[in-house]
Chains A and B, each alone.
Chain A
Amino acid sequence: DSSVSKSSAPSGPVCILADSRCISSGVELMTTLRQRHAATVHVCSLDGSYFIVSNRMAVERHSQSDLAAMQNRKRLAERVNSLQGLFERVCLIVEKDRTKPGEVSRPFQRTRYYDSTVTALVRTGVRLLWSDGAEESAGLLADLARLEQRKGQGIAVPLEVKGQHSQQALQLFLSLPSVNYIHALSMSHNFRSIAQLINSSIEAIQKAGCMSQPRAEEIYRFLRYSCDSFLMNTSKNS
């Protein structure tokens, strides 16, 4: 892989962004990430409960029974679809179900339905990782972040924006199509003003947003797209 030997230093702690909803379900995981793997974990508000481990990769945790439950598939498909729109790489950590203390651990019954879900995910290009529990998942997240950092894709911008105007700019960047939190954060730090983004070339957007060229092209076109006021008037209250 030629992209392995790229700029950003391979050493140093890795940065991981976590949605605030990840806290309630993952206190143990967060603690392990911070203490054992010395990762910088920044909690923010994402559009789903997932982690961002690099400029291009999102990671979601699911329990094995989550994947096996038929009623979950539609929601899972929506989540995966939306993540694939926002990130070049999407990874699912499939975790063994936790047994409560005192409960007899039952071996997971693999069904045809489960197999078909797994197969469909693999075929869509979703990366799957298998974990025994929260501790192992923390290790996998840290490993993924480290690997991405080695490939020059690590999160390198400051994880916070200070001041009301910058916060508002971040929110505006987030409302651009196909822009995820780390793109918006990068643009907030790399553009001097919102106007500078709006008048930038595709190359400049790509560089400042740490994003792929097709994504930068999409933003560039969006900013210049001419609204049809007829459509606007008929569109229902949004």
Chain B
Amino acid sequence: METKAAAVLNAVPPYGHLIASEKWRNSSLIQSLKGGGVKILFEKELGVADFHLPNKSCILYVSECDIIAGNSYKRKLVRYRNSSSSFQELVLVENTRLSEQYFSAVQKFVVFDLGLTLLPVSGQTEASQLITQIVHGGGGRENPFRRRTSSQLLDPLILALVQQVPGVGRVKALALLQHFSSIQKLCNAAPAQLEPIVGHAAAQQIHNFFHKATAAGT
């Protein structure tokens, strides 16, 4: 029995599907989800969460009523936070004319105290549009905000950094890097080693720049 419950609690629906808690069966939210082409599986033992979505996220729905009625939704939120482990936990909050006066307090509790993600909706219609988007949006086109690990070439960055040294332009920077291939080698070169490349004055200046005390210790 317990293992069965645990299996349900961690169930991830197939793509295009959503697992809904039984209590939502006759809601308008479910009706419009179906209208949007989302396939619904109902489940009696989903725990605190209202919906499980593909891409390992789940949703707890906080209605206008919950908010106005007071504190029991907070206990539910805490249980929600403590329950599912591997899911991205989203909280949909109805922000309506009646509940908007409480919204900022709800946000503080959900985001600052519990560290969950809050998405405001005006009601079940907007919620169904958003949920449809989450269900269908996962596949297909790539997320434009996914961080691309750019394998940036370091050489131009090093060249740019060396040009931050006062009196060193592109020509001198290139000449210096041909002799001292890394910033560390350049920094630790004695003025006498720099002199044949950039001349006496610049050699002193470069060495001083690296070794002169900054305002540290202030």
Chain A positions near chain B (C-beta within 8 angstroms): 73-74, 76-77, 80-81, 84-85, 110, 112, 115-116, 118-124, 126-130, 132, 136, 139, 143, 147, 158, 161-163, 165-166, 168-169, 171-172, 175-177, 188-195, 198-199, 222-229, 231-233, 235, 237-238
Contact = CB atoms under 8 A, between A and B. Distances in A.
B129 interface: yes
Nearest to B173: A232
A199 B214 CA distance: 15
Nearest to B113: A147
A162 B214 CA distance: 9
A173 to B, nearest CB: 9
Interface in B146-187: 146-148, 152-161, 164-166, 170, 174, 177-178, 181-184, 187
Given A115-B130, A192-B216, A194-B187, A229 B156 contact: no
Nearest to B152: A177
Nearest to B117: A122
Nearest to A226: B181
18 contacts: A120-B144, A122-B88, A122-B117, A124-B146, A128-B118, A162-B215, A188-B214, A188-B215, A192-B214, A193-B216, A195-B210, A198-B210, A222-B154, A229-B178, A233-B174, A235-B153, A237-B170, A238-B160
Nearest to B55: A123
B215 A166 contact: yes
Nearest to B142: A120
Contacts of B103: 130
Contacts of B209: 165, 168, 194
The 8 A-B residue pairs with the shortest CB-CB distance, nearest first, are A115-B133, A166-B215, A124-B145, A226-B181, A172-B164, A77-B144, A198-B187, A195-B210
Contact of B129 (A85, A112, A166): A112
B111 A224 contact: no
Interface SS majority for chain A: helix
A116 B178 CA distance: 50
Interface residues of B, number: 61
B159 A193 contact: no
B184 A198 contact: yes
A147 to B, nearest CB: 6
Contact of B184 (A80, A128, A172, A223): A223
A131 to B, nearest CB: 8
A231 B153 CA distance: 9
Interface in B189-218: 209-218
A227 B177 CA distance: 7
A119 B174 CA distance: 46
B154 A175 contact: no
A55 B50 CA distance: 36
B161 A176 contact: yes
Contacts of A77: 144-145
A189 B218 contact: yes
A191 B183 contact: no
A169 B88 CA distance: 42
Contacts of B111: 127, 129
B104 interface: yes
Query: Considering residues A84, A163, A195, which has the most beta carbons from chain B within 10 angstroms of its beta carbon?
Result: A195
Interface string B39-72: 0000000000000000100000000000000000
B126 interface: yes
Contacts of B129: 110, 112, 115
Contacts of A158: 218
A82 to B, nearest CB: 10
A122 B218 CA distance: 41
Nearest to B104: A136
Given A122-B119, A162-B215, A199-B187, A227 B145 contact: no
Nearest to A77: B144
A220 B154 CA distance: 13
Interface in B118-145: 118-120, 122, 126, 129-130, 133-134, 137-138, 143-145
B119 A227 contact: no
